[in-house]
Amino acid sequence: MNDNVEEKQVSDDDWAAAMNEQAAVDAKAAPMPAQIFEQFGGGDQKAGSPHGFELIMDIPVRLTVELGRTKISIRNLLQLAHGSVVELEGLAGEPMDVLVNGTLIAQGEVVVVNDKFGIRLTDIVTPQERIRKLNH
């Protein structure tokens, strides 16, 4: 049983190392959430106040990574069986879409660390672009 515990800790340590490495890269380039919030007029909140940006920080959201999509008739859907292959619109090597609550926020590439999938973000949709898409 100790072997499983040690294996789990090694696995967690590898993920932690990968996450720390990415955080170091992100810290140099990405604006902090408070900076983004200030761009939208939320910077006038008092420090330590439970209002504004801090109020929403612990709200859970659904993050989805989309490999591809396709349309299929119900007839073909009902004919699917174990081993069936469904062709997707996405091409091999294309970046995956990263959606939060159904809204595209980024694109990235799949990574594998200790047999677990992850995604490395390669392109972030700016808040201004997301707002512009909402208005159209």
Q: What is the per-residue DSSP string for 62-115?
A: -EEEE-------HHHHHT--TT-----SSPTTPPEEEEETTEEEEEEEEEEETT
- Write down the pLDDT at residue 77: 93
pLDDT tens digit sequence for 78-105: 999 999 999 988 788 889 999 999 888 9
Task: Tell me which residue of 123, 99, 120 sits closest to 19, measured CA to CA.
Answer: 120
C-alpha torsion 99→29→27→133, nearest 10: -20
Pairing of strands 103-113, 63-66: unpaired
pLDDT tens digit sequence for 7-51: 455 556 777 777 777 777 666 665 555 555 565 555 555 555 556
| CATH node for 61-136 | 2.30.330.10
Structure tokens at 105: 């926020």
Domain definitions of the chain by residue range: 61-136
Higher pLDDT, 114 or 31: 114
Higher pLDDT, 1 or 103: 103
